[in-house]
Amino acid sequence: MIKARVTVTLKNGVLDPQGKAIEHAIAALGFEGVGQVRQGKVFDIEIDGADRAKAAADLSAMCDKLLANTVIENYAVEIA
């Protein structure tokens, strides 16, 4: 069993209204010194098998086809 974590974030320069809303909410709660908040998604995925290279290739394909909008998002794959 291979465990992986995929992190998807907006590319630099892409507006992040949800991140901005979180940023304002943090300030409204009285927390100071928070400069910018960017929001993203995390996927924890388990893959049957032991071939880490195939798992990495499959995970990248999953991101390209479904998990990330590669026009406006970046993704990172970590295999444990």
How confident is the model over 40-66, as a mean pLDDT? 97
Position of tokens 């990495």? Answer: 56
pTM above 0.95, yes or no: no
Domains of the chain: 2-79 (3.30.1280.10)
Distance, in Å, from the CA atom of 4 to the CA atom of 53, rounded to the nearest integer, reads: 12
Q: Give the whole-number percent of the chain exceeding pLDDT 70.
A: 100
pLDDT at position 76 is: 98
Which pair of tokens denotes residue 19?
A: 């991140």
How confident is the model over 50-65, as a mean pLDDT? 97
pLDDT tens figures, 19-50: 999 999 999 999 999 989 999 999 999 999 99
